[in-house]
A and B are shown apart, each in its own frame.
Chain A
Amino acid sequence: LAKTTQPISMDSYEGQEVNITCSHNNIATNDYITWYQQFPSQGPRFIIQGYKTKVTNEVASLFIPADRKSSTLSLPRVSLSDTAVYYCLVGVRDMRFGAGTRLTVKP
């Protein structure tokens, strides 16, 4: 199972773009990269998933370089409601969470 490393915490202000990078040096050929968001006392919620290059949906973008040893979650124009913990997961099954990145968005 590929181990992931993310910053423990990040601060931002409303309206700014936030980029959270996850390192996964041991990613396997068939591994996907998936990001989840979690609010206090709730289960994690799927944000975005990708395998290579760039993926964009209505809430975020995911950038994956050619070597796939890292990935960057990009949240455009964050608001106070984006304050949460963000987890990067790598794998195909047995999805295991790390400590995540605690994002705090300030007014």
Chain B
Amino acid sequence: DAGVTQSPTHLIKTRGQQVTLRCSPISGHKSVSWYQQVLGQGPQFIFQYYEKEERGRGNFPDRFSARQFPNYSSELNVNALLLGDSALYLCASSVARDGSSGANVLTFGAGSRLTVL
């Protein structure tokens, strides 16, 4: 059974450019969450999507946006890239949005490492 897949695995951009990262959740998982992890820090929550709607948003500027498609895959877009956006971007999927049947156990992909020059 395929796990959470993310693409691309690595990419290099320059300041001011735009980037799109993609995530395919585990089959049957309807919730996708995005995290940014800077070297040496814990993952920082960016967005959660469930059933194609935004269900949670972290403390990130409007340059960050995301969407979820009918097949539950998701894209994270970052506009006007800054040097500080260099990080590992993690996608996680889960079965449910909330704790209706236990807490939201997350399964993570391997991440997309973005370098902004």
A residues whose Cβ falls under 8 Å from a Cβ of B? 30-32, 34, 36, 41-46, 49, 85, 87, 91-100
Residues of A within 8 Å of B43, CB to CB, are 44, 97
Tell me whether B92 and A43 are in contact (CB under 8 A): yes
- Report the separation of the CA atoms of residues A87 and B4 in the bound assembly, to the nearest whole angstrom: 20
B107 at the interface (CB under 8 A from A): yes
Interface residues of B in 72-117 (CB under 8 A from A): 88, 90, 92, 97-99, 102-111, 113
Question: CA–CA, A97 to B59, complex, Å?
Answer: 13
Residue in A30, A31, A95, A98 whose beta carbon sits within 8 Å of that of B106 in the complex: A95
**Contact partners of B110 in chain A: CB under 8 A:** 42-43
Name B41's closest neighbour in chain A (CB-CB).
Answer: A99
Interface size on B, residues (CB 8 A): 29
Is there an interface contact between B99 and A30, defined as CB atoms closer than 8 Å? yes
The answer to whether B102 and A49 have CB atoms under 8 Å apart is: yes
Whether the Cβ atoms of A93 and B42 lie closer than 8 Å is no
Which B residues are CB-close (under 8 A) to A100? 42
Question: In the bound complex, what is the Cα–Cα distance between A61 and B21 (angstroms)?
Answer: 36
Complex CA gap A46/B44 in Å reads: 17
List 6 contacting pairs A-B, 8 Å CB cutoff, sorted by A: A43-B4, A44-B92, A49-B105, A92-B104, A95-B92, A97-B43
Which residues of B sit under 8 angstroms from A42, Cβ to Cβ?
A: 108, 110-111
Q: Are A32 and B103 in contact (CB under 8 A)?
A: yes
State the Cβ distance, A98 to closest chain B Cβ, in Å. Answer: 6
Contact B45–A92 (Cβ < 8 Å): no
Q: Is the CB of A92 within 8 A of B92?
A: no
Cβ of A91 and Cβ of B45 under 8 Å apart? no
Alpha-carbon separation in the docked complex, A94 to B54 (Å) = 11
Q: Are B99 and A95 in contact (CB under 8 A)?
A: no
For the complex formed, measure the closest distance between the CB of B103 and the CB atoms of chain A, giving whole angstroms. 3
